[in-house]
Amino acid sequence: MMPESLTDSIQDYLKLIYELSERGGTASTTALAKRLGIAPASVTGMIQRLSSARPALVSYRKYRSVTLTHAGRRAALEVIRHHRLLEAWLVQTLGYSWDEVHDEAEKLEHAISEDFERRMAASLGDPDRDPHGDPIPNADLVMPADKSVSLSSLQPDQAATVCRVQERNPEILRYLEKLGLVPGARLKVLAVSPFDQTMHLKVRGRKKESILGPPVTSQVFVEIL
Task: Report pLDDT digits (tens) over 151-160.
Answer: 999 999 999 9
For residues 20 and 71, membership in a common domain is answered with yes
pLDDT value for 3: 52
Query: How many residues in the chain?
Result: 225
Quote the CA–CA distance of 56 and 44 in Å, as a whole number: 15
Full-model pTM:
0.90
**Binning pLDDT at 50, 70 and 90, where does residue 26 land?**
confident
Helix (H) or strand (E) holding 75: helix 70-94
Tell whether 108 and 173 lie within a shared domain.
Answer: no
Report the percentage of the chain scoring pLDDT > 70: 96
Q: Which domain holds residue 140?
A: 1-144
Q: 157 and 64: one domain? A: no
Question: How many structural domains comprise the chain?
Answer: 2
Of 177, 150, 173, 174, which is closest to residue 163 (Cα–Cα)?
A: 150
- Measured distance CA(132)–CA(87) in Å, rounded: 9
pLDDT averaged over every residue in the chain = 93
* Spatial separation of the C-alpha atoms in residues 103 and 105, rounded to whole Å: 5
Q: Pairing state of beta strands 210-212 and 199-203?
A: antiparallel
Q: Domain check: are 92 and 140 in the same one?
A: yes
Strands 149-150 and 67-68: unpaired
pLDDT tens profile 119-142: 999 999 999 999 999 999 999 999
Same-domain check for residues 93 and 203: no
Q: What are residue 213's phi and psi, to 5 degrees?
A: -95, 170
Greatest Cα pair distance in the chain: 58
